[in-house]
């Protein structure tokens, strides 16, 4: 190891740290007089590595995809229209609905205009307050029935149901 100012060779076992013009540097004894000698940073007392957590993370990454983690419910397509219709049928303003579900009026406005999609927690709040159903069950689909006979492969076009307006 060398002094960061003059380049002299430093003893490996006891380098000197000095603050010189705002920078902490490792310097020799002579160059340390140019600044203020600093204490060595304290070593951490307890450094415990949890081997179990390391093993756990790697096994989770290597696990195959599980269908049990798939969502079973999905937000309906015209949720913004349904929320507005239910709110107006109860003669509530956006401010009233916001107070009932403890959300800001701007959030209600963005949801009703379709600029924002509510998360599951907010969707449940809206369903309860407005007495409507915004989540619909998703059916498990056997993808093997959609195998294209010409190429023998599944494609997105074979599986997707296109709704026409």
Q: What is the CATH number of the domain that holds 82?
A: 1.10.260.40
Better-predicted residue by pLDDT, 144 or 59: 144
Q: Is residue 150 in a domain?
A: no
Q: Is residue 143 in a domain?
A: no
Domain count, the chain: 2
pLDDT for res 69: 65
pLDDT for res 37: 86
The residue-averaged pLDDT of 111-120 equals 92
* 31 plus 81 within the same structural domain: no
The residue-averaged pLDDT of 126-148 equals 78
Better-predicted residue by pLDDT, 122 or 58: 122
* 36 plus 82 within the same structural domain: no
pLDDT for res 77: 87
% of the chain residues with pLDDT over 90: 32
Q: Provide the 3-class DSSP secondary structure of residue 46.
A: coil
Q: Which domain holds residue 82?
A: 73-137
Q: Is residue 117 in a domain?
A: yes
* 34 plus 79 within the same structural domain: no
Q: Is residue 91 in a domain?
A: yes
pLDDT for res 24: 85
- Angle in degrees, 0-180, between the axes of helices 105-113 and 120-130, rounded to the nearest 10: 90
* 36 plus 90 within the same structural domain: no
Q: Is residue 94 in a domain?
A: yes
pLDDT greater than 60 at residue 49: yes
Q: Is residue 53 in a domain?
A: no
**Distances 157 to 62, 70, 150, 154, 161 between C-alpha atoms, Å:** 30, 21, 13, 8, 8
Q: Is residue 151 in a domain?
A: no
* 80 plus 24 within the same structural domain: no
* 34 plus 77 within the same structural domain: no
Report how far residue 10's alpha carbon sits from residue 1's, in angstroms, rounded to the nearest whole number.
Answer: 6
pLDDT for res 55: 52
Over the stretch 57-115, which tens digit does the pLDDT of each residue have? Answer: 555 556 665 556 666 788 888 999 999 999 999 999 999 999 999 999 999 999 999 99
């Amino acid at each position: 190891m060398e002094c960061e100012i003059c380049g002299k060779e430093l003893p490996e076992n006891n380098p000197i740290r000095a603050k010189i013009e705002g920078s902490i540097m490792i310097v020799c004894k002579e160059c340390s007089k140019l600044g203020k000698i600093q204490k060595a940073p304290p070593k951490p007392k307890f450094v415990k590595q949890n081997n179990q957590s390391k093993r756990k993370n790697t096994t989770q990454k290597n696990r195959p995809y599980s269908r049990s983690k798939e969502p079973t419910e999905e937000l309906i397509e015209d949720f913004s229209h349904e929320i507005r219709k239910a709110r107006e049928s109860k003669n509530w303003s956006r401010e009233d609905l916001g107070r009932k579900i403890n959300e800001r009026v701007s959030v209600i406005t963005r949801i009703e205009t379709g600029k924002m999609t509510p998360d599951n927690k907010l969707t449940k709040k809206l369903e309860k307050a407005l007495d409507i159903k915004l989540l619909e069950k998703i059916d498990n689909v056997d993808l093997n029935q959609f195998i294209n006979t010409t190429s023998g492969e599944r494609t997105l076009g074979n599986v997707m149901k296109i709704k026409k307006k």
